[in-house]
Amino acid sequence: MLYPSIDSLLQKIDSKYTLVTVASKRAREMQENRDCRIERAVSHKYVGKSLEEIEGKLLSYRPLEEKGQK
């Protein structure tokens, strides 16, 4: 079984597309800076670690406002 599960991650982030985007951007950042916010990560890969950060509520996102709306 995968950890963290997709169902639990989708309770924290609204769509699979957003989940993939946030996790991949964070994974790239971790790879470049060698920083991880999880003390003991289960995963050895950067994408897995970023998903664990989302699960642990250490990583979130704020949607950009659409053009023309304030």
- At residue 16, does pLDDT exceed 80? yes
Q: What predicted TM-score, i.e. pTM, was given to this entire model? A: 0.80
- The structural domains of the chain, with segments of one domain joined by +, span 6-55
CB within 8 A of 19, min separation 6: which ones? 6, 9, 10, 13, 54
Which range is least confidently modeled, 19-23, 37-41, 53-57?
37-41
Burial class of residue 35 in the structure, from the number of CB atoms within 10 Å of its CB (0-12 exposed, 13-18 middle, 19+ buried) = exposed
Angle of the 46-55 helix axis to the 16-33 helix axis, nearest 10: 120
Higher pLDDT, 34 or 67: 34
Average pLDDT over residues 31-51: 88
For residue 43, pLDDT beyond 80: yes
Mean pLDDT of 38-42: 84
